[in-house]
Amino acid sequence: MYDNKRVGTQTVELKNRPKIISATSVVGPKEGEGPLGSYFDITLKDDKNGKETYEKAESSILYTSISESIRKGNLTEDDIDYLLCGDLQNQITSSNFAAREIKIPFIGLYGACSTFSLSLGLGAMFIDGGFANYVVTGASSHFSSAERQFRFPLEYGSQRAITSQWTVTGAGTVLLGREGNYPEITHITTGKVKDYGVKDVNNMGAAMAPSAVDTIYKHFQDTGRDPSYYDCIATGDLGKFGRQVTETMLKELGYDVSKVYVDCGESIYDNGRQDTCSGGSGCGCSASVFTGYFYKKLLEGKITKILIISTGALMSPTTSFQGESVPGIAHAVAIEFNNRG
């Protein structure tokens, strides 16, 4: 008989809860110098990671993250049923080129900076639905490759706005499986595209905040939960100003998240000391902060329930030049680890 796993309008409850068996974060030197530096698994000595270009460097750190997550699970590439990854580059080339070095069936994803939770949620659905035993999911970004594509060549030396963010050089992947005493994915709330007319490409936090608010609100409405259920609610890369907007809007909707809410983009850097303005951004932001920091906190029992909401700005250089606004998207994944065995 058909088993309907939908809860409310936008959420699914996973009955065969997928386990996060392992996680690996790889970051650049600047990220390693930030407040979370000691939590990351691998920190590069240089942004190019010994490669000829920044784009090749980004592909290499994603490949390393994937390989390490598989190794930590005591598995081989032949054991993995699917690889789900994405990035910010045109035609997601960082992920494509990493996947060509790996013998795993590959599904490339693009959700802008929401790609980490997008891949995590879809991978979990694959396992819960019985379509896979092991899945690797993840995302990456690189400051220099993203700046070149979306803003200005680095040599331009442009003045950064106070609301602007620093694209994280980093990658994060997780290995999902069916068995074991590991953190479990329980619910997935898929977001809708929201556009409040923001056209300032130097204020991505304001552009993405409405989508984060909508997805979090829908998650609470669908599940009957409220902020007190979670030890932590973490958005992906809204930065300082976007986090403030999100917190204010949710309070207006009746949900005070202030006691448990953090933003990965605001947390990864010391904005004052490292001159990152509003904080971090990019696919690699929530990917590296979750796999480097939050996953370890779950294993340590410091937190037992977390809602991770990666956020994305669905724009391109072309749409920006044409005067289009910046639509936003956010996807939420609920993770719990109560039985530490």
Confidence (pLDDT) at 157 = 46
In angstroms, the CA 102 to CA 65 distance is 12
Note the maximum CA span of the chain.
61
**Contact residues for 87 (Cβ-Cβ < 8 A; gap 6+):** 58, 62, 93, 94, 95, 115, 139, 140, 141, 283
Read off the DSSP letter of residue 194.
B
Lowest-confidence pick of 145-149, 290-294, 326-330: 145-149
Average pLDDT of the chain to the nearest whole number:
91
pLDDT band for 160, please (50, 70, 90 cuts): low
Per residue in 61-114, pLDDT tens?
999 999 999 999 999 999 999 999 999 999 999 999 999 999 999 999 999 999
Per residue in 284-321, pLDDT tens?
999 999 999 999 999 999 999 999 999 998 988 788 77
Per residue in 61-76, pLDDT tens?
999 999 999 999 999 9
All domains in the chain, ordered by first residue:
6-177 (3.40.47.40), 184-336 (3.40.47.40)
Read off the DSSP letter of residue 290.
I
Q: How far is CA 285 from CA 84, 141, 300, 341, in A?
A: 17, 8, 22, 31
CA geometry: angle at 139 spanning 134 and 141, to 5°? 160
